[in-house]
């Protein structure tokens, strides 16, 4: 069974987001072994300088690279956008390289370090639109679930 690891900076604060994630985690238990890890963002000042942000992203990036397993997908705005059927194919791609684990990385509110983006096997963007940072996890879990449903040929994806 494939392992999906999600490394995400920040905790889900809203109960409705936690409930949505719990629902998709329950659904995904039939398709994969899911591991979600909340990471603590580096604390920044009220109005951080570019240098302070870059330093924080580098520290967060080091933490990500120490924890990542297998095929890594970095969620970043400049990444490639996929249709759901293309995303489903992405879920099967690591197996072609002998990998059984996919690590999805959700950065902090300032994104991801350049090192993480360069180390990623795929840089993925959910949309050109801006969404609340915490919603990204719910959206990702739903797309992973949808991807498995596409792969197995169910009617969930219409």
Question: What's the full length of the chain, in residues?
Answer: 158
**Domain hosting residue 120, numbered range:** 3-152
Does residue 158 belong to any structural domain of this protein? Answer: no
C-alpha–C-alpha distance, residues 69 and 67, integer Å = 7
Q: What is the mean pLDDT of residues 121-137?
A: 89
Does residue 157 belong to any structural domain of this protein? Answer: no
Does residue 148 belong to any structural domain of this protein? Answer: yes
Q: What is the mean pLDDT of residues 123-129?
A: 92
Total of domains in the chain: 1
C-alpha–C-alpha distance, residues 56 and 102, integer Å = 25
The pLDDT assigned to 33 comes to 96
pLDDT at 53 over 90: yes
pTM: 0.93
Does residue 114 belong to any structural domain of this protein? Answer: yes
Does residue 100 belong to any structural domain of this protein? Answer: yes
CATH code where residue 7 lies? 3.40.1280.10
């Amino acid at each position: 069974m494939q392992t999906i690891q999600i490394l995400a900076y920040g905790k889900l604060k809203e109960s409705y987001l936690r409930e949505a994630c719990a629902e998709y985690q329950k659904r995904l238990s039939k398709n994969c072994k899911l591991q979600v890890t909340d990471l603590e963002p580096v604390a920044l000042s009220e109005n951080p300088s570019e240098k302070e942000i870059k330093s924080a992203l580098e520290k967060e990036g080091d933490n990500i690279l120490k924890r990542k397993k297998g095929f890594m997908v970095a969620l970043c705005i400049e990444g490639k956008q996929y249709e759901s059927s293309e995303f489903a194919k992405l879920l099967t791609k690591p197996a072609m390289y002998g990998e059984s684990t996919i690590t999805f990385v959700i950065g902090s509110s300032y994104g991801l370090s350049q090192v993480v983006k360069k180390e990623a096997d795929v840089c993925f963007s959910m949309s050109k639109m801006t969404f609340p940072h915490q919603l990204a996890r719910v959206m990702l879990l739903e797309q992973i679930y949808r991807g498995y449903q596409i792969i197995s040929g169910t009617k969930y994806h219409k």
